[in-house]
Amino acid sequence: MRGVSGIVHLLQCGRWPVTRKRVLAILVLILVGAGFSVGAWALAFRPVRVEIVDARQDAAVQVFGLGTVEARVASRIGFKVSGVLSELQADHGDGMAKGAVLARLDTREQVARIGRATAGIDQVEASLKRATAGVERAEANFANARSISERRQALARRENVSAEAAEAARAAMDIAHAEVSLARSDVDVARAAGRDARAQLELERVTLDLHTLVVPYDALVIARLKELGSVVAPGEAVFALIDPATVWVLAYVDESRAGSIKVGQPAEIVLRSHPGERVGGRVARVQIESDRVNEERRIEVAFDRIPEDFHLGEQAEVYITTSRLERAWLVPEPAVEGYKDKRGTVWTVEDGRLARRAVTFGHRTLDGRLEIVTGIPEGALVVTRLGSGLRTGRPAVARDRRR
């Protein structure tokens, strides 16, 4: 009221003409100023509304990867021999059982080679028979020469024949013995020739089998690369096959997020052609070699149940669950002050009033939330959005925005 008395005194001193209107205007100004002061005080100390999140139960920590649908077992197969395609038994999209015939080459030339190899065996067998007969004849000649030599030697000891005749008989026996060895060698040669001829025949038969292309495993034909009448070279691909049971997603994950990925972890797969569906899967392989250019790790994720209508090369998203948090505070990164090296400061509501807490963080979720590991007292609520009016000790009204 001193201000009002002063103003009245000034008016009474004659500095300002005293009128009723002027006195009322001055009183109104004083009351308005007092109202603003009271309102500012009320705004500064009234409870502030904040968005909070309580500790969350069973939260999944996931890693994102982008890749394509591929097949682990994929082959481009052809003939081991050259020839002209005479039969094609499969086409794009056909499912083939292991051992089923895919294609054949013209076999007329190879059949002729088999006939020639068969005739070679007959010839060798005839030579073997001749050599065997030669052995029998040589053995008979040797037996006769030995008998003659033995008689001549006996007569020579009694001096009934000359020594020269006895020596001639012995020499004839030695020659007959050598002829037996030679004849037996001819038999060995004929037998070896027979083995070679039979091996040649087997080779020609195997080559004939190579004129037929069969499925090496239960497969799906994804491409037919040659048509009837085409001349194919050895090793040239005729069909492209995959094992449909080995279809998976080859995903690329940023190396900074891939350290916690292990074989066997559960995953969810989203195909680009079905954006609203999530298909279950698991990590089947973590490749040893990373992509050096993009600094990404190659992760192969197998389907729990392979889609019937899959398409190789289709883009797919994978969400790999690396761990599950039984109970954790998850706060958005924008709600953290001074975040660095997994440390920062967050606002909390404790006993109805605001407080600041220095905390330590652990996992980071895909939606940018950080797991608070230490620093939050029991019963506290974490503020998830920073706004104006936050001050330590100020009353706060919590509005739960759990997700």
- Residuewise pLDDT in 10s, the chain (403 residues): 445 455 555 445 544 455 656 556 666 666 555 444 444 444 455 788 888 877 776 788 999 999 999 999 999 999 999 999 999 999 999 999 999 999 999 999 999 999 999 999 999 999 989 989 988 898 898 898 888 888 888 887 877 778 888 788 888 888 988 988 898 898 899 899 999 999 999 999 999 999 999 999 999 999 999 999 999 999 999 999 999 999 999 999 999 889 999 999 999 999 999 998 999 999 999 999 998 999 999 999 999 999 988 999 999 999 999 998 888 888 888 989 999 888 999 999 888 899 999 999 988 888 888 989 888 888 888 888 887 888 888 898 877 654 4
Q: CA-CA distance, 249 to 71, in Å (whole number)? A: 8
Amino acid 6: pLDDT: 54
Contact 135, 121 (CB under 8 A): no
- Our separate counts of H helices and E strands in the chain read 4, 21
* Pairing status of strand 237-242 against strand 219-224: antiparallel
pTM above 0.75, yes or no: no
Amino acid 45: pLDDT: 58
Q: CA-CA distance, 399 to 352, in Å (whole number)? A: 12
Q: CA-CA distance, 316 to 248, in Å (whole number)? A: 10
Amino acid 18: pLDDT: 52
* Pairing status of strand 396-400 against strand 48-53: parallel
Cα 212 to chain center, whole Å? 32
List the Cα angle 268/273/276 in 5-degree steps: 55
| Closest to 381 in 3D by CA, of 361, 397, 403, 360 | 397
Backbone angles phi, psi at 272, to 5 degrees: -65, -30
* Pairing status of strand 266-271 against strand 279-286: antiparallel
The two tokens of residue 185 are 């060698």
| Closest to 373 in 3D by CA, of 334, 331, 329 | 329
Backbone angles phi, psi at 370, to 5 degrees: -110, 140
